[in-house]
Amino acid sequence: MFEEEEVGLNQQLAGKVALVTGASSGIGEMAARALAAAGAEVVVAARRADKLAVLASEIADSGGKVFVVAGDVSREADALRMVADSIEKFGRIDILVNSAGIIEAGGLESLSIDQWQRVIDINLMGTIYICKAALPQMKAQGEGDIINISSTAGRRAAGLMGAYSTSKFGLTGFTEGLRQEMGGYGVRVSIIEPGATETEVAEGISDPEMRDAMRHHVARAGVMQPSDIADAIMFIIGLPRRANVSQILIRPTDDTAPM
Ligand code: NDP
């Protein structure tokens, strides 16, 4: 099991290159640490270059190889640059983790169209831009792993999470279609659907009451830690290449709500 304090290089992923979006915090950050600790060369991507720089220096200090690309995945030009810079730096992309995402809470009446658009642009289109940009490289390699981070909200809609659920339901359709499209080229495509995980994800919510409720939801005792989702990513990657885990639904043990 991967724990942050256990970071130490092993060679499981030596020679592999990983691009992780949303690496400046939470699940993406922990995924980047886990991949680097397993010997992969890791490109860390997000908008906050300062946070990425701190992460990169910590990974480098542990003996890892890391490269920072700052940008906004909801801008196609940034997504293209993230992928191109990764390939220019390390020569290939073996593992792509799309963790960049935001939550906006509210219903169709209370959220503006711009707010709906932003959630869909980041959570869904951002992942699509990055995947489209990385595919030619993976196809040429005849090998690759794409892991998209969705949510339980991609399976179960809620009245005040409409925009978020729409983006994550969309991600499910996109990911399964891509799996079917790319399996014949040796590219595995997976989706992970986490439940409550202790990260900064509540901070992007505009409405103060909803933000507080979400803060509580992801910080209460018993929720998962980003390392739990990083473990799921490492499990997917670690299986023989003939096996594609297409979907992992992972929830806090004490989350007994039916799905
Ligand atoms: P965090 O807020 O901790 O991390 C989100 C990451 O996404 C940050 O690194 C942020 O970096 C990045 N990001 C946001 N918008 C953009 C953008 N436009 N371009 C590039 N990067 C962006 O939250 P989590 O780690 O929890 O979220 C990761 C994923 O997990 C999301 O897709 C979320 O929907 C999903 N998830 C989280 C759950 C939870 O309970 N925490 C449950 C289910 C799913 P920056 O601001 O620097 O750009």
The pLDDT tens digits of the residues spanning 8-65 come to 557 899 999 999 999 999 999 999 999 999 999 999 999 999 999 999 999 999 999 9
Residue 46: predicted pLDDT: 99
CA of 101 to the centre of ligand 1 (A): 4
Q: pLDDT, tens digit, for every residue of 144-197? A: 999 999 999 999 999 999 999 999 999 999 999 999 999 999 999 999 999 999
Choose among 182, 196, 258: nearest CA to 226.
196
Residue 9: predicted pLDDT: 59
Q: pLDDT, tens digit, for every residue of 96-113? A: 999 999 999 999 999 999
**11-250 carries CATH number 1.20.1290.10:** no
Compute the average pLDDT of residues 214-232.
98
Residue of 119, 150, 197 to test ligand 1 pocket, by largest number of atoms within 8 Å of CB = 197
- 26: alpha, beta or left, given left = phi > 0 and alpha = psi -120 to 50? left
β-strands 17-21, 95-98 pairing: parallel
CA nearest ligand 1 atom 2, residue: 201
With 90 as the cut, is the pLDDT of residue 6 above it? Answer: no
- Residue spans of the domains in the chain: they are 11-250
Residue 11: predicted pLDDT: 81
